[in-house]
Structure 1
Amino acid sequence: MGMYVAVRGWLEVDHKQREQVEQTVAAYGRDGYAGGWAFPVKPFNWTLYVFYGGDIRESAVASFRDLVAELARLAPVDEDLDMPAGFFLLSYERQQSTSWTIRDGQLIETLAPAELRWFAERP
């Protein structure tokens, strides 16, 4: 059966990048976890927030990380040169948590901040 990892997080991108984000997610959709992505039905203001929430097999984390890293590298589309930014929290069944911070075209993986580690703790 395997171990599972609870993944939740978001990316901030420009509205002009929505189609590219959707296409990139669809290209990785072969593993069955693409259904965890949520796009606003009626976007507003200037930032598009794209969310993810789902429990994925531990063996699929590397592929999911590749997807998020690819999204982090999306080229800027306006004069501000803003790249995607975001945060993901991963809680493993082994009662450990890691986090991915997305900024400046990179995915930075670290232990989850102490104040968020309780997500992985079992009573």
Structure 2
Amino acid sequence: MGVYVSVRGWLECDEKQLDAVQEIISSHADDHYSGGWTTPQKQVNWTHYIFYGADIRESALGWFTNQITEIARIRASDEDGDRIRGLFLASHEVGGTTEWQVRDGQLVMSPADTRHQYLNE
């Protein structure tokens, strides 16, 4: 049956970066796990959000983290210098929960705080 990881979280960006994010997501489309990506029906104000939520096989983690790493590298689109930011929690059936931060142009992974333990129950 395989081992699964529950991945849920979001990215925040501006409108120009959103186009680049959607191109990256499309380039990794697999007609299965890529269905976990969604955006609001209507963006409100200046920050654009992209959400992901799905239970994926452990073997697909590389597919997902490769996308996130590529997205994190998208440069700021204007002089204010804001890069894409985000936060994901990945609850592994065997290995526990990790926190994935998208910041400063990279994906930073660390053990999740114990206060998120309830998500594994």
What residue in structure 2 maps to residue 67 of structure 1? 67
What residue in structure 1 maps to residue 42 of structure 2? 42
Are 2:33 and 1:33 aligned? yes
Counterpart residue identity of residue 17, structure 1? Q
Q: Normalized against structure 2, the TM-score is what? A: 0.94
Q: Normalized against structure 1, the TM-score is what? A: 0.92
Of stretches 13-22 and 48-57 in structure 1, the one that deviates more from structure 2 is: 13-22
What residue in structure 2 maps to residue 100 of structure 1? 100
| Unaligned residue ranges in structure 1 (runs of 5+) | none
Counterpart residue identity of residue 89, structure 1? L
User: 8 Å contact 1:95–1:120 — kept in the other structure?
Assistant: no
Counterpart residue identity of residue 62, structure 2? A
User: 8 Å contact 2:17–2:84 — kept in the other structure?
Assistant: no
Distance 1:61 1:91 in 2: 12
Distance 1:32 1:93 in 2: 20
Question: Percent identity over the alignment?
Answer: 46
Report the alpha carbon displacement of residue 87 of structure 1 after superposing the two structures with TM.
0.4
Distance 1:83 1:8 in 2: 20
What secondary structure is seen at the aligned counterpart in 2 of 1:45?
coil
Distance 1:42 1:120 in 2: 31
Aligned residues: 121
The CA RMSD measured in Å over matched residues stands at 1.3
Distance 2:101 2:18 in 1: 20
| Unaligned residue ranges in structure 2 (runs of 5+) | none
